Amino acid sequence: MTIAEWCAADAGRTNTDICKQHRDTEEVRTSLGQRIAEVLGIANRAQATADAAMAREIVCVTRTLNRTRTGSCDPGYTLTGCTQTRYTYRAGGMAILRSVSDTECRYNGQVLEVQVRCCAMGPNPPPATQVRDQVLPEPQQPAPEQIS
C-alpha cells in the first residue's frame, strides 16, 4: 500500500502529518515537472532557432571608401563592421566614430579611408551594387639605369 492509498483509505487520515507532507511533496513534484517541461520546450525552440541560423547562407562584402564621413551598406545588407584603415596626422589623425546603425556608420569628420563590412543572409542575397572590386595596381619598379 502506498502513502497515497493509505491516506485515501480513511477520510480521518487526510489531516495527519504524513498525508499533509505527502500532498506537499506531490505538489512540488508536479510543479517541478511542469517547469522542467517549460524549460525543455524553450531550450528546444532555441536550439531550432540556432540550427536555422547556422544553416543560413551568409554573404559578406567589404567596401573601401576614401575621403568620406560615412560608410553605408546597400539595401538588404546589414552593417557588421566599420574601421578607419588609413589616416595621417596631417589630415587630422584618427577620427571619432560618432554613430553606428544597421545601415551606416558616421565619423566626426572626413576620414581618409574606411572599410565597411556588410552582410546579407539567405540563398539569394540582394546585389551589392555599390561594391566595387578594386584591384590594386602593382607597384612600378624604376628601370635600372645603365652606367657606361
Residue 128 and residue 118: Cα distance in Å, rounded? Answer: 9
Among 129, 126, 124, residue whose Cα is nearest residue 76:
126
133 — pLDDT class (breaks 50, 70, 90): very low
pLDDT value at 107 more than 70: yes
pLDDT value at 135 more than 60: no
Please tell me whether residues 68 and 112 are part of one structural domain: yes
140 — pLDDT class (breaks 50, 70, 90): low
Which of residues 17, 38, 55 is at a domain's end?
55
**Which tens digits make up the pLDDT trace of 2-59?**
998 898 888 888 889 999 999 999 999 999 999 999 999 999 999 988 887 776 778 8
Q: Report H helices in 56-123.
A: none
pLDDT of residue 28: 93
pLDDT of residue 21: 93
C-alpha cell at 12: 480521518
pLDDT value at 82 more than 90: yes
Residue ranges making up the domain that contains 40: 3-55
Q: Report H helices in 2-144.
A: 3-9, 17-55
Please tell me whether residues 15 and 63 are part of one structural domain: no
CA distances from 130 to 67, 136, 137 (A): 16, 18, 21
Q: What percent of the chain has pLDDT over 70?
A: 84
What is residue 86's three-state secondary structure? strand
Is 102 part of any domain? yes
More reliable by pLDDT, 91 or 101: 101
C-alpha cell at 53: 541560423
Q: What is the pTM of this model?
A: 0.49
Domain holding 93: CATH number?
A: 2.60.40.4230
